[in-house]
């Protein structure tokens, strides 16, 4: 299944995918520090490829490295 054909995830599903709480994902979205998302009508949806990219960009090798 290509990335384009993968279904988009709503906030609760995306949070589960990322293993974080939905409220945490909502706070990240409001602050501008979370993964890319799209608005479809009143719904917020996430592409799994964007979630993977955000996770990859969040990798750290030490706790002393500035975020």
3-56 has which CATH code? 1.10.1660.10
Evaluate if pTM is beyond 0.85.
no
Mean pLDDT for the stretch of residues 11-21:
97
pLDDT at residue 58, as a whole number: 82
* pLDDT value at residue 49: 96
Kindly indicate the confidence band of residue 66, based on its pLDDT and cuts at 50, 70 and 90.
Answer: low
Each domain of the chain, given as residue ranges in start order, spans: 3-56
The DSSP annotation for 1-67 comes to --GGGSPPEEHHHHHHHHTS-HHHHHHHHHHT-S---EEETTEEEE-HHHHHHHHHHT--S-TTS--
> Residues 35-64: what's their mean pLDDT?
92
């Amino acid at each position: 299944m290509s990335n384009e054909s993968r279904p988009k995830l709503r906030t609760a599903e995306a949070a589960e995918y990322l293993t974080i709480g939905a409220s945490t994902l909502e706070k990240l979205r409001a602050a501008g520090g979370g993964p890319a998302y799209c608005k479809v009508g009143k719904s917020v949806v996430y592409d799994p490829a964007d979630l993977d990219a955000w996770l990859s960009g969040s990798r750290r090798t030490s706790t002393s490295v500035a975020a």
